[in-house]
Chain A
Amino acid sequence: MKSSSTELSPYSLRRRRRQRTHFLVTGALIVGAIVVALLDVSLGHEVYGLNDIFAALNGSAPGGTAFSIMQLRMPRALVAMICGAGFGIAGYSFQTLLGNVLASPDIIGITAGANVAAVASITVFGLSGTALFGVAVGGGLVTACAVIALSWRNGLLGTRFVLVGIGVASLLNAVTSWLMIRADQWDVQTATRWLTGSLADASWSDVAPAGISVAVGYLCLATMAHTLDVLRLGTYTATGLGVRVNRARIVIVVVSVIMLSIVTATTGPIAFVSFLSGPIAARLLGNHRPSIAASGAIGSIIVVLADIIAQHLASGHVPVGVMTSLVGGPVLVILVAGVLRKGV
């Protein structure tokens, strides 16, 4: 054995290089998310510089500027960032757990499950507040469990899972439409907030609940990052490597669904963010690197950028979800076409 630490073996050199790249890329993505968020705050009818933003933050900006930055733009940018991260992280953990990029919660019906539960609570049972919220989380969890149970076959999940999920999603969306048609005018307005991804109503009161849930969700999943990677080797191998497979799966699903339901309750389902973030992170970092933080940062960047485009470049008030669909839709079609060509 060589005693000198300068003589590293080729394997350990490669590993160190991968690790360094990993930290650099992840760090750059987080910085990127902060930069686009600042850009979101600065752009608008009136364009503010960094100095205005800092002045507003420490309370020395003039009234109009301070109001515009602190009350309108800052909460909106923060909510975009936080919720984007939540969508991205939840998407990554589902895609990794199920070993399929198409298995993101917005595609396999989990978001649809939360929505249908929320809309039914509003329009049929007149719930609001925490009760409404609890029902939505429950709807997401029940749908996740149902899709997993329906597609389970010797523990092997894959395309089958995705197809079942897509079926469940369309069914639930049909139920949601039916509920909306039957609902009172007043309830429809409240329910619509659940169904369209929009940052137009974002306020400071949204920042803390969403921020705390994404932070807690991230920390829980980060402690399981290696477990999540080992789970990709299949149930038997993962158990053989000391993973409590069922417990790990349940924890990952429950944490992701709760986090996802909270961010969905905040902004509505912003289409395709969950689906796009993980694969982009994998492209940048390499396929088999734990990329929870990177997926979160990419989710933030996507939502904030889409919001900037929706507000300033597109004419009129385009909801942010429409912008993300314009990008996500074609990617989904390409990926599905690829999967079908490879054979189901």
Chain B
Amino acid sequence: MPKRSAETVRLKTEKVHLGYGDFPIIEGLDLQIPQGKIGAIVGPNGCGKSTLLKALARLLPVQSGSILLDGQAISSLPTRSVAKIVGILPQSPSTPESISVEELVARGRHPHHGMFGGWDHTDDTAVEEALRLTGLSDLATRAVDTLSGGQRQRAWIALSLAQHTDILLLDEPTTYLDMTYQLEVLDLLAELNISRGTTILMVLHDLNLASRYADWILALKDGGAAAVGSPSQVITEDFVRSVFRLDSRVTRDPDTGTPVVTPLAQHSLAALRAKADGAA
């Protein structure tokens, strides 16, 4: 763990055990989420990335240990107060039939209202800003279920932006998007971090993008954390081999200086053809 004594932390886990029924997924994880930074959770499929993110957003109860928000167990805080501080975009949210983009985004204001609504100017501004930041102003009246995958994903991100939380957790916000949209979404999150100081923690599959866009990376493998640290500390050839069981070469991106993972040549059509020819 890198030293983070100077950083403030609002959300952290202490010896947290997570799982479903008798089946443990994460055992004894201690994690401090530094404020104002962008973090990425990486790890192989099914290792518990979504499970951890859900627990951090109190969507899943802990089996033991605790998750603390501002020093208090998150499960003991009023859920509406938590919703003003921590926002979560689940992995595959369900979109109600024929809801329009702006009505979906407006739902993000829910935690800021009392029982009877009481919509005001601040809410209008928040919704408009979220639509603008996600480039959806022109699609605001379209039904979400008629949009492309990338636009739909941005509509859901816009809902999270309208929620105006200090901490934002996103589960695979770039999955199903083409490369341009992936970069657009990550640019948007980076800008949000810069302009509002929002703390971001997201699950990403692409190690190269995680390296480009995250201040710190948490790598999970079965049972818990495999590594925590800056991208260049975490993403090494040994790491990729032990966590992803993949032989690779890790180089530096010539422009950003961040790690780039390239699988070794044996994982290629040319190498496999050559091998088949050699055997024949």
Contact = CB atoms under 8 A, between A and B. Distances in A.
Nearest to A234: B94
B62 to A, nearest CB: 15
A11 B93 contact: no
A319 interface: no
B124 A240 contact: no
Given A233-B107, A243-B79, A287-B97, A14 B102 contact: yes
Interface in A1-21: 1, 9-12, 14-15
Interface in A275-301: 287-288
Contacts of B100: 288
Contacts of B84: 242
B94 A233 contact: yes
Nearest to A101: B97
A156 interface: yes
A239 B96 contact: no
Contacts of B157: none
B38 to A, nearest CB: 19
A137 B263 CA distance: 64
Interface residues of A, number: 28
A226 B140 CA distance: 20
B90 A240 contact: yes
A12 B81 CA distance: 26
B82 interface: yes
Interface residues of B, number: 45
Given A9-B124, A236-B90, A237-B90, A242 B99 contact: no
A232 interface: yes
Contacts of B83: 240-242
Nearest to B91: A236
Nearest to A232: B96
A233 B124 CA distance: 20
Contacts of B82: 242
Nearest to B131: A11
25 contacts: A10-B140, A11-B128, A14-B140, A15-B102, A156-B94, A223-B115, A226-B113, A226-B115, A226-B117, A229-B107, A230-B110, A232-B99, A233-B93, A233-B94, A233-B104, A236-B90, A239-B59, A240-B59, A241-B108, A241-B110, A241-B163, A242-B82, A244-B79, A288-B96, A288-B99
Interface of B: 54, 57-59, 79-84, 86-90, 93-100, 102-104, 106-108, 110-111, 113, 115-117, 119, 124-125, 127-128, 131, 140-141, 159, 163
